[in-house]
Chain A
């Protein structure tokens, strides 16, 4: 098997919970998968402090349950997708998400900074729709 294929198989196992590749110690792969998830959750918490604080001690459990099986897309997008997936957020987490939505246009693929006019219009709309 080529190096490329072997590396891809390992990444899939570690990041999406795919099968442990042949010859690897399954317990170590599990430990590494958890290590990667802890690191990822920490980075998302740093990028989205109000979001993570709103979960308190449940942050890791909630984020990792959502993120399991989803490859990392960077802490900005991971936090954004996770925040959007929540049916309700506390006031500070809502404000944090709203500020990001106002400043950036995010279609689920790549965030793009909004123009000044676009940002102003979004903020005006948000002021009238939030209560």
Chain B
């Protein structure tokens, strides 16, 4: 078993901050960090009240971008880079994150994160876009591989090798989404434990844990369902190796008591301190 090599500044259990649960989050005594969707904040402030309260308490805020389209062949748009950097400065972030994905092409917005082909020209595109972003950003960048229902037909590299190339070329850290690993493995008929073993663990800055459901015969990483036991099992298998984890939930919020239960279950599975009391 590999020893944990914590990379990056985050430690402990956090959550994705959402305005719908701002009150609940402001009341969590032990929250180790809060991730916020970068594009949801006005780049020059003010922070939403609940988020400002957490920040004043010393809870690190991590901007998580969803619209930069770093995996796009089209160069990342300068105004988006500027706004992302402004949000990182506004929040005093120790780290920022985005995705190994693209969201627009040919002048059309996909409205969702789409996978890039695992090819060398895709690595080059990501590296070029990350270079632009990192030249403006003052803090480390972590990249998140996504869950996808579609697979490109002409992949040159395995998932693990592609990820290593991207991280080597960009110098970025890894935002490991355990639910994404589970979703992709299940839908490909592969073993999620094998995929996890092959990842560059020394680069993991933090982890996402999210819920999903089977829809149309496929496991879909919806972020609006509870975290399934299979994903919690994966987290348990990684206990002690995860420096920081967070629950990512985007809608259909359950009652507070259920959120508490879910947060505690994730913390326990990861071997991290509970944040709810």
Q: A68 within 8 Å of B by Cβ?
A: no
Given A24-B153, A28-B151, are A73 and B251 neighbors across the interface (CB < 8 Å)? no
Contact A34 B216 (CB under 8 A): yes
Contact A3 B111 (CB under 8 A): no
Interface string of A1-33 (1 = CB under 8 A from B): 011101110111011100000111100110110
Given A25-B151, A32-B150, A35-B149, are A11 and B108 neighbors across the interface (CB < 8 Å)? yes
Contact A28 B149 (CB under 8 A): yes
Q: B220 within 8 Å of A by Cβ?
A: yes
Contact B117 A25 (CB under 8 A): no
Residues of A in contact, count (CB < 8 Å): 32
Interface centre among A3, A6, A16, A34 (most CB of B within 10 A): A3
Interface centre among B102, B112, B117, B151 (most CB of A within 10 A): B112
Interchain nearest-CB distance for A26 vs B (Å): 10
- Going nearest first, the 9 A-B pairs with the smallest beta carbon separation are A23-B153, A8-B106, A4-B73, A7-B105, A72-B111, A3-B73, A8-B105, A32-B149, A11-B105
A15-B108, A46-B251 known, 7 other contacts, Cβ within 8 Å:
A7-B73, A11-B105, A11-B108, A12-B106, A15-B111, A34-B216, A72-B111
The residues of A with any CB-CB pair to B shorter than 8 Å are 2-4, 6-8, 10-12, 14-16, 22-25, 28-29, 31-32, 34-36, 39-40, 42-43, 46, 71-74
